Amino acid sequence: MAINVIITDNFEELSKVAAEIVKEKIIQGLQDKSLYVLGLATGNSPTGVYKELAQMANANKFDSSRVRSFNLDEYIGLPGENAQQRTIHPQSYCYFMIKEFFGLLNNKFIETTLPYACLIDQKILMQELSSHPDDWTELGTDSGKSIVIKDKASSEYLSWIQETILEGYAQKIEKSGGIDLQIIGVGGRGHVAFHESGIPFEGSKVMLIKLDKNTVSNAVIDGQFNSEDECPHFAISMGAELVYKAKTVLLLANGERKTMSVTESILNEPSPDVPISYGQLYSEKGGNLIYILDKIAGRELVANKKKLEQKGIEIEIKSS
């Protein structure tokens, strides 16, 4: 099983170690081809990595002008009268990426792409789902659901979402040659992007997600939105099935909230209840999976070092 686990002292060290790996992968990849494809995540976990990578690129440690990127997810239903306003809303993931990474680069990536969620009008989506119940089904055992739109849906709007927004994003990634290295964070219940706990792995390339009620409530509590009515209730997201098609997956996790899901994802059998556990199947098929954790998130893995060794997983502990 090709899973490498690296334990670092803290978030700063985690960020430096991860950025160094990404830099080396880019340099190696660009020896054989003209373009390197990065998969990127939002959230707190990768912010330090992005700052480190921007500094490296600006110091000419690698050629950022030969990099193309694809992001994991984006909200549907951000406040705004049109797609442009929704895209640049301060809570959009597009805005996040410009602020935390893209805007820091002197030599910009050749192209940056996020899911086309801001093209969707949430009110129209909800109306079409309500008036065409036979056009779609829900998948998932928790409150976060994958909305699967059937082929040849009678609703033109839902059909457009399926063909242009979902399949279109997956096809663009495929036409780029696929993702060389995908950076992911970890949700508290082991979810990746908006592939929520309980959503099946199969058929989860790019999904229309009805957000978990806790996700919506927490966004208001955290001050991201003024009310639940203003908060997005849907998102477009890569699923675990597509995430784990990348040549290398770099999983970042720090802090107490991630400890249990990180531990379960490797020690227990793969389960849709912990979407990142799909990485075990990915590694068995030859995928290169690297966990980079701080010592808190990796605490239980260190405590179960012998069990991991029985699975062929070595832990590397880096100490500054």
Residues of the chain with pLDDT under 50: none
Domains of the chain in start order, with CATH, are 7-240+271-283 (3.40.50.1360)
pLDDT tens-digit series, residues 150-192: 999 999 999 999 999 999 999 999 999 999 999 999 987 889 9
Residue with tokens 């075990």: 280
pLDDT tens-digit series, residues 105-139: 999 999 999 999 999 999 999 999 999 999 999 99
Backbone phi, psi, residue 262, to 5°: -60, -45
pLDDT at residue 1 in the model: 52
* Contacts for 235 with CB less than 8 Å, ≥ 6 apart: 73, 74, 75, 76, 117, 194, 209, 211
pLDDT at residue 320 in the model: 64
pLDDT at residue 200 in the model: 93
pLDDT tens-digit series, residues 135-151: 999 999 887 899 999 99
How far are the Cα atoms of 234, 254, 270, 302, 309 from residue 313, in angstroms, in the given order? 37, 20, 16, 11, 5
